[in-house]
Structure 1
Amino acid sequence: MGTEQYSPMLPLISDEDASPEVKAVFDDIRETRNTDFINNFWRVLANDPDNLARTWDELKNLMGPGTSLDPMVKELIYVAVSTVNNCTYCVRSHTAAARQKGASDEQLAELQSIVAAANKTNRLAIGLQVPVDEAFQ
Structure 2
Amino acid sequence: MATDRIATVAPVPEAAATGKVAAVYADIKATKNITFVPNMWRVLATNPDHLELVWTRLKAIMHPEASGRTSPLDPLTRELIALAVSATNGCSYCVNSHTAAARKLGLGVEALGEVMAVIALFNSTNAIADGYQIEPDILPPQE
| TM-score of the two chains, using structure 2 as the length reference | 0.86
Pair 1:93 & 2:92 matched: no
In structure 2, what is the Cα distance between the partners aligned to 1:60 and 1:9? 25
Query: Match for residue 107 of structure 1?
Result: 111
Aligned residue runs from structure 1 range 1-137, under 5 A: 7-64=6-63, 65=65, 66-133=70-137, 135-136=138-139
Query: What's the secondary structure of 1:43's corresponding residue?
Result: helix
In structure 1, what is the Cα distance between the partners aligned to 2:126 and 2:43? 34
Alpha-carbon distance, 1:96 to partner = 0.3
Alpha-carbon distance, 1:13 to partner = 0.6
Q: Which AA in structure 2 matches 1:16?
A: A
% of aligned pairs identical? 42
| TM-score of the two chains, using structure 1 as the length reference | 0.90
Q: 1:6 to 1:113 in 2, by over 3 A?
A: farther
Structure 1 stretches lacking a partner, 5+ long: none
Structure 2 stretches lacking a partner, 5+ long: none
In structure 2, what is the Cα distance between the partners aligned to 1:29 and 1:7? 19
Alpha-carbon distance, 1:118 to partner = 0.3
Q: Which AA in structure 2 matches 1:58?
A: R
Alpha-carbon distance, 1:107 to partner = 1.4
Give the superposed CA RMSD.
1.5
Alpha-carbon distance, 1:49 to partner = 0.4
Alpha-carbon distance, 1:17 to partner = 2.0
In structure 2, what is the Cα distance between the partners aligned to 1:107 and 1:128? 32
- Structure 1 stretches (4+) deviating beyond 4 angstroms? none
Alignment coverage as a number of residue pairs: 132
